[in-house]
Structure 1
C-alpha cells in the first residue's frame, strides 16, 4: 500500500474465499479500521482487506509490514 496517514479514509472489507462475496465491515480512518480488524477472529482476519481511494492491501500483509 502506498504511504498513507493514520487519518486516511479506508474501507475494511472481508472477501469470502469460497464464494467470492465481499462484506463491508467498516468505513472510516485507517486507525479505526485497524482497531476493528484486530477484534475479528483469526479466520476472518485472513480474508480482510483495506481499501483506499487508489489501493487495496490484505490486512495481514499490512500489519506484517
Structure 2
C-alpha cells in the first residue's frame, strides 16, 4: 500500500470466496486508522477476506499487518 498515513481515505471491503468469484461487500469508507480498527475487530475468518483500497493501491488486510 503506497498511501500509508493514518488520514488516508481507504475502502475496507470483504471479498467472499463464493461461487463464481464471490462478491465484495464494503464495510467502511474513510480514514485508514479507523478502517484498521474495524478490520481488527472482525473474526479471523472475515479478516482472511478483507482488503484495503486507496486511490492507487489494494492490499489484503493480513498482508498489511504482516500475518
Q: TM-score, normalised by structure 2?
A: 0.91
Note the aligned Cα RMSD (angstroms).
1.3
Instruction: Return 5+ residue gaps in structure 1 as ranges.
Output: none
Q: TM-score, normalised by structure 1?
A: 0.93
Instruction: Measure, in 2, the Cα distance between the counterparts of 1:44 and 1:3.
Output: 23
Instruction: Measure, in 1, the Cα distance between the counterparts of 2:30 and 2:3.
Output: 17
Moved over 2 A (4+): none
What are the within-5 Å matches in structure 2 for residues 21-60 of structure 1?
21-60=23-62
